Amino acid sequence: MLKFTSMAGNIFGTLFRLTTFGESHGDAIGGVIDGCPPGFKIDLQQVQKEMARRKPGQSAIVTQRKEADQVRILSGIFEGITTGTPIGFVIENTNQKSKDYDHNKDAYRPSHADYTYDQKYGFRDFRGGGRSSARETACRVAAGAIARQLIPQVEIVAYTAAVGEISLKETYPAIDLSKAEENPVRCPDPEIARQMEAYIRDIRSQGDTVGGIVECVIKNVPAGWGEPVFDKLHAQLGKAMLSINAVKGFEYGSGFEGTRMKGSEHNDRFNPDGSTQTNYSGGIQGGISNGMDIRFRVAFKPVATIMQKQPTITKDGQQVIMQGKGRHDPCVVPRAVPIVEAMAALVLADNYLLQESNRVAARSSDATPNS
Amino acid sequence: MLKFTSMAGNIFGTLFRLTTFGESHGDAIGGVIDGCPPGFKIDLQQVQKEMARRKPGQSAIVTQRKEADQVRILSGIFEGITTGTPIGFVIENTNQKSKDYDHNKDAYRPSHADYTYDQKYGFRDFRGGGRSSARETACRVAAGAIARQLIPQVEIVAYTAAVGEISLKETYPAIDLSKAEENPVRCPDPEIARQMEAYIRDIRSQGDTVGGIVECVIKNVPAGWGEPVFDKLHAQLGKAMLSINAVKGFEYGSGFEGTRMKGSEHNDRFNPDGSTQTNYSGGIQGGISNGMDIRFRVAFKPVATIMQKQPTITKDGQQVIMQGKGRHDPCVVPRAVPIVEAMAALVLADNYLLQESNRVAARSSDATPNS
Amino acid sequence: MLKFTSMAGNIFGTLFRLTTFGESHGDAIGGVIDGCPPGFKIDLQQVQKEMARRKPGQSAIVTQRKEADQVRILSGIFEGITTGTPIGFVIENTNQKSKDYDHNKDAYRPSHADYTYDQKYGFRDFRGGGRSSARETACRVAAGAIARQLIPQVEIVAYTAAVGEISLKETYPAIDLSKAEENPVRCPDPEIARQMEAYIRDIRSQGDTVGGIVECVIKNVPAGWGEPVFDKLHAQLGKAMLSINAVKGFEYGSGFEGTRMKGSEHNDRFNPDGSTQTNYSGGIQGGISNGMDIRFRVAFKPVATIMQKQPTITKDGQQVIMQGKGRHDPCVVPRAVPIVEAMAALVLADNYLLQESNRVAARSSDATPNS
Amino acid sequence: MLKFTSMAGNIFGTLFRLTTFGESHGDAIGGVIDGCPPGFKIDLQQVQKEMARRKPGQSAIVTQRKEADQVRILSGIFEGITTGTPIGFVIENTNQKSKDYDHNKDAYRPSHADYTYDQKYGFRDFRGGGRSSARETACRVAAGAIARQLIPQVEIVAYTAAVGEISLKETYPAIDLSKAEENPVRCPDPEIARQMEAYIRDIRSQGDTVGGIVECVIKNVPAGWGEPVFDKLHAQLGKAMLSINAVKGFEYGSGFEGTRMKGSEHNDRFNPDGSTQTNYSGGIQGGISNGMDIRFRVAFKPVATIMQKQPTITKDGQQVIMQGKGRHDPCVVPRAVPIVEAMAALVLADNYLLQESNRVAARSSDATPNS
């Protein structure tokens, strides 16, 4: 039986809401931000700078596709200031090479979304993955770059913690995160970055790919953000990260390692000012930020498109051999760093507004509690 | 400055929506399910059976509190059949011992939600955690037990995979999951279960606690469930699991281990029928189920309440020594197993309805595509 | 072909969210309020007082059914103060006389929801209308009575403006609204109230029913509430009112009469303080409150259950004669007055929180605009 | 105190969701449709035809502004067929004459949104109303034209029923609705249309404006659409209509006139096939469509911008005289007709999908009720 299903789930957030659209090989991609408060100065060069961090072709170890990724703001920002109206934006697709994907037309790429799309929609845009393409994340980065400017005191820094077997020996705060942007891998340890870069070049020369881990540290979130039951702050962050292409896992604070600890070791002891001596909690307790650094890790699988021959099947179940073509990343992690930051920014700006929506009793002049 | 914030985020799901309410030491807890289709037979004994799996006092290695946990259905089910109207249910709190919590009144329990609640709400229900108490999860289990009966062909089995350092050597499908319910730890390997149980008894005798890992296998989900961008099926599952008390991490398929693999190893090769030879994808590709078993792992931290003396602070920043009292679990994992299953059932029933909502083109007689 | 559909749409509001459940002849009805901020004093006697205004049996001109309509609060209010957690409440059904409805079992009552429920759900609770019964509005009144206490400065007064052909000659502000509660019809003009009451008694003696109009005046809403596009304040109020049983129309400000006016007559001229000399706008311009009184009118049809013989059909299309039994209102308007107020309160409390959620730029100390 | 608020409420619909953006004098307006199922053929010429019906400059009795109103589809439709991915579209603003609005810069136009915007946002786009401009409705018409093509069997016909005091003598079904599009007023009675047109010309020559009423008839909606409590079908339609600029009232079926009737007159008697002999219910009973024609009426106030001198105030409360400039409609009703139809189409397509989402029990092969 044929089955066709619409693609829902293109809206993210509760009060600060991003809706995105666009396929990798259509005319353009874009989005709308609904709920951005007025009066905030938005530095559009900063937005473009974030786009450059995600852009293909930015270094020798990423895909060599070229996209201008110029964000055209159509509404909601006037003379550099948000007006409170929805912010519509468009990013034209300028470098589609649909021919690169002709080989996919009949066969399913293993561990891609080709098979599941066909099963769900009865339709598949074989030109680079359509909506499932990571090109969609460009809209997340654009919106995230705006979201960050609502909460300028909050510092969000992501970086590469592992590429395959090569991983940071030390971890934050023992390492200087400011060095992450100094190398194309975005790893804050220069020596390990060099090893990672060499390994990625090696993997690419084999026509293969490799996975990795992105860590993220968020400073200066005040205590009190997040909701305690279904919308715990880490649950929202987890969903945001797991919605990025190729992500297989999320952990915060002590994470999976923490399962091996005893309560007497794991409990974070308080300092008199409410800060804690350790931070196994990862800055979140009971789903609510506690004012310490928020820390989490995101696992990325190896890119599914490899430049080696692989057996696979066609839509009709015929076994065929396919070989990846096109311009793909040997390791997604360096370009994923700004995407992780952008999704974190969307979650935090939303929770900032949620928190503000209800801090009414203590400050509202026109509706004080009736005491 | 004082700040007060409401507690939002008590609604879960899009079409099959659960709203819960209730504190551990109030009169009752309960919930409403909106969006449950009519005509489904609901076995209420089955609901009560799931409640018994989560219940305190069920074995020697869990908390010895006693709660009847009797689910009283107030609406929406008539003569054992869903009517399509909202299902309201209430679970009375019968065994609150607020006195057990007097010691918490002035001091913040480390790694609990006490401090963050006070920061967010300017108010804290010290009687057992209020809304942050795991008692809230009883409503999830009740609703999940109903959700499962909408998708009876889908088999959801969770089990204990690790308690502290002790973990399963083999994993599914090499182990017989049906054995998990035969021991109080809910570990499917009888020998390892015995070790885990002994370890939990030992930990308890030290007045300490320990973490662990729950694995979940979901069989017979047809290909096509889930939405491809922000609401990927695994992102929804991840959020659901991360919203359970004490969870620190979520991974599916190859998870964090998969980050070390090469694409050529990690890609799941197709069989002619569309199934795959390996299942590193964990049953989900591009956010959509592919018909293979869905598999994920959930990390639980050690319970924060320990029966040892701990230094902590009062609301005023005074340093004091506190010692846990009350009746607490030395390891949350055995009782978490049915909660993991319940949350999975809520996600899957919702995605089942979402999928059905749009399978219109192929079957609708009154609104066929206008071709 | 059989078709079964679930009953969605039992959640009302965006930040201040009410979810209701319960059928007229089940065990109980009830609801959950999610998003109520903490620290507000709630007078539960005031809630019960509102329930009494809606209650059957309150006067000689309404249905003589007796219901205690005692609201039992299960969570979210502690020592009379909201805690910020969800407020769960239950109202037991104490006086179901299902036998009164036996005559409905096989036949569709004309202009009731019997036929449409059967068409939608393939199932119908013939015991008094099930979920379509106006009993459901008891939960709206309970929640509305809580919502009002969040915005105590806002004064919401509804009253009967017309019963059948008998209507107020003058309108607010020419009439003294405080007199509305002094007579069972809830009409603020004592003489017209007497006429209405006599007319309702007459109509009842004929076994017939009659419609009417409720007007509502809302004072002291500050300028700035409401959203300008799809969620205009009057669009939200209109939806709220149209969702009440038996409502056929909604107009605000100049309403349908205003369509006959010229712009030069209809435009409200400003006073220097921003108030206006006339109020054809009804207190709302461009979907946003302007600080003037909000005024609207709600049309109620005559109650469909009449105590006369009527021809109708059975489920199988057989023509039969039926006669209404049970205890019904000859005119719904007097009891509708507190329901109109309750729905207005829910809309306004929600918009109050929405407005607060975004007034961030001017006051937030931890996230000022980055100027 | 300054206050700034974001403009939320730019998303319409539950499963078929429209998000719009754009100001009248910015670069472009546009929107995203999320939730449109795949496999539907979309006639883009039909979309453009609907745009032409709303377009300024289409006849001598409407505003003489010129806008191309060309809808550029950026995603979601491939070779004329919906793909199930979000449909992004943009309409460039080509004819902004901001200079026409210089006179508004300092003064508030009476009965416009100028004052309320300033109060809400602390900011006002004086160039033609910004987001409050009716230009925003162009996006509704574009999306509505797509929505209609999902439910091609449903026939939605709106028409002008009154302009000022001039109104149709007969009403549907006594009049031939197909004649409505034959004259610029969109009134189906040719003689009354001539009177209306003459009246509008006269009003315009006075520099004045006038209100009117649009009626809408919707045929072939099957019984069963709509949700019975808060989301009654007529409540959704009412909200949709009340969200259109200049609307002051909504009534369906017998409407306000029905309040004067007795139940014995108002009840719609059944025919053996479930249809009814009269249709005072307006095609909806208990919030759910009953298969009869859905009928409603929408009241539009006179346009606030008049070409006469009016006293008003500036932001600082100074009294000044202003005179409307720019190119405005003397009566909004003729151009409102396609907007009413578009909003009705959005509501109906959404309810169609909602209805389908839950018709699971009777047809689903992979999740039948477990009986």
**Cα separations (Å) of A155 from A13, A158, A177, A234, A295?**
20, 10, 12, 17, 12
Q: Is the residue at A4 inside a domain?
A: no
Q: In which band, very low, low, confident or very high, does the pLDDT at D363 lie, cut at 50, 70 and 90?
A: very low
Instruction: Report the distance separating Cα A97 and Cα A107, nearest Å.
Output: 18
Best mutation site among C20, C204, C230, C339 for testing chain D: the one with the most D CBs within 10 Å?
C230
**Contact assessment for residue C237 and residue C314, using Cβ atoms and an 8 Å cutoff:** no
Give the gyration radius of chain A's Cα atoms. Answer: 22
Q: Is the residue at D93 inside a domain?
A: yes
Q: Is the residue at D2 inside a domain?
A: no
* The token pair that represents C152 in the structure block: 């105590």
Q: Please check whether residue D15 touches B, CB under 8 A.
A: yes
pLDDT of A126 strictly over 70: no
DSSP states of B192-246 as a string? Answer: HHHHHHHHHHHHHHTT--B-EEEEEEEE-PPTT-S-SSTT-HHHHHHHHHHTSTT
* Counts for chain C of helices (H) and strands (E), in that order: 7, 16
Q: Please check whether residue B6 touches C, CB under 8 A.
A: yes
Q: What is residue D339's three-state secondary structure?
A: helix
Q: What is residue A156's three-state secondary structure?
A: strand
Sign of CA dihedral B247, B249, B250, B251: negative
Q: Is the residue at B6 inside a domain?
A: no
Answer whether D41 sits within 8 Å of B151, measured CB to CB.
no
How do A294-300 and A247-252 pair as beta strands? antiparallel
The reported pLDDT for the residue numbered B251 is: 98
- Residues 16-35 on B with a CB inside 8 Å of C are 17, 19-23, 26-32, 34-35
Chain A partners of C362 at a C-beta cutoff of 8 Å? 39
Residue A340: half-sphere exposure toward Cβ, Cα within 13 Å: 30
CA neighbor of C18 nearest in space, from C29, C28, C2, C26: C29
**Cα separations (Å) of C189 from C160, C165, C168, C294, D335?**
10, 15, 7, 21, 42
* Angle of helix D333-358 versus helix B333-358 axis, rounded to 10: 130
The reported pLDDT for the residue numbered C97 is: 58
pTM: 0.92
* Residue-level length of chain C: 371
**Contact assessment for residue B276 and residue B267, using Cβ atoms and an 8 Å cutoff:** no
**Contact assessment for residue A352 and residue A151, using Cβ atoms and an 8 Å cutoff:** yes
- Residues 78-117 on A with a CB inside 8 Å of B are 108, 110-113, 115-117
Instruction: Report the distance separating Cα C219 and Cα C153, nearest Å.
Output: 8
Q: Which of A35-44, A181-190, C61-70 has the least mean pLDDT? A: C61-70
> Can you list the pairs that B318-324 forms with residues at least 24 positions away whose Cβ atoms lie under 8 Å?
B318/A272, B319/A272, B320/B106, B320/B107, B322/B103, B322/B104, B322/B107, B322/B109, B323/B103, B324/B109, B324/B207
Q: Is the residue at D312 inside a domain?
A: yes
The nearest CA of chain B is from the CA of D346 a distance in Å of 15
**Contact assessment for residue B246 and residue B303, using Cβ atoms and an 8 Å cutoff:** yes
Q: Is the residue at B295 inside a domain?
A: yes
Report the pLDDT averaged over residues C157-183.
95
Report the pLDDT averaged over residues D57-82.
88
Say how many domains are in chain C.
Answer: 1
How do A284-285 and D284-285 pair as beta strands? unpaired
Q: In which band, very low, low, confident or very high, does the pLDDT at B2 lie, cut at 50, 70 and 90?
A: very low
The reported pLDDT for the residue numbered C15 is: 84
Instruction: Report the distance separating Cα B29 and Cα A60, nearest Å.
Output: 58
**Cα separations (Å) of C198 from C54, C57, C302, C335?**
21, 18, 16, 17
Phi/psi for B154 (5° steps) reads -80, 130
* The token pair that represents D233 in the structure block: 């079908």
Q: What is residue D347's three-state secondary structure?
A: helix
For residue B34, the surrounding DSSP H or E stretch is strand B28-34
Amino acid identity of residue B101, one-letter, is Y
Q: Is the residue at B1 inside a domain?
A: no
A250: domain CATH number is 3.60.150.10
Neighbours of B313 (CB within 10 A): 21
Which chains pack against C, by 3+ Cβ pairs within 8 A?
Answer: A, B, D
Neighbours of C114 (CB within 10 A): 24
Q: Please check whether residue D326 touches B, CB under 8 A.
A: no
Q: Which residue has the higher pLDDT, D218 or C55?
A: D218
List CB contacts of D224: < 8 A, sequence separation 6 or more. C3, C5, C116, C119, C120, D288, D289, D355
Q: In which band, very low, low, confident or very high, does the pLDDT at B353 lie, cut at 50, 70 and 90?
A: confident
Strand-pairing partners, residue D80, are none
Instruction: Report the distance separating Cα D57 and Cα D144, nearest Å.
Output: 21
- Residues 116-175 on B with a CB inside 8 Å of A are 116-117, 119-120, 122, 131-132, 136, 162, 164-165
Query: Could you read off the pLDDT of C215-269 as tens digits, one per residue?
Result: 999 999 999 999 889 999 999 999 999 999 999 999 999 999 999 999 999 999 9
**Contact assessment for residue A360 and residue C358, using Cβ atoms and an 8 Å cutoff:** no
Cβ burial A15-39 (10 Å sphere, 16+ → b, else e): bbbbbbbbbbbbbbbbbbbbbbbbb
Q: What is residue D31's three-state secondary structure?
A: strand
The reported pLDDT for the residue numbered D99 is: 56
Neighbours of D308 (CB within 10 A): 15
Q: Which of C256-265, D8-17, D171-180 has the least mean pLDDT? A: D8-17
Q: Which of A112-126, C27-41, C298-312, D201-215 has the least mean pLDDT? A: A112-126
Chain A partners of B119 at a C-beta cutoff of 8 Å? 223-224, 274, 288, 290-291
Query: Could you read off the pLDDT of A138-147 as tens digits, one per residue?
Result: 999 999 999 9
**Contact assessment for residue C298 and residue C248, using Cβ atoms and an 8 Å cutoff:** no
Q: Is the residue at A371 inside a domain?
A: no
Q: Which of A142-146, D140-144, D254-258, D352-356 has the least mean pLDDT? A: D352-356
User: D141 is in which domain, residue-wise?
Assistant: 11-356
* The token pair that represents C57 in the structure block: 């049996």
The reported pLDDT for the residue numbered D97 is: 58
**Cis, bond preceding B173 (omega within 30 deg of 0):** yes
DSSP states of D199-226 as a string? Answer: HHHHHHHTT--B-EEEEEEEE-PPTT-S
The nearest CA of chain B is from the CA of D178 a distance in Å of 22
- Which ipTM score applies to this complex? 0.94
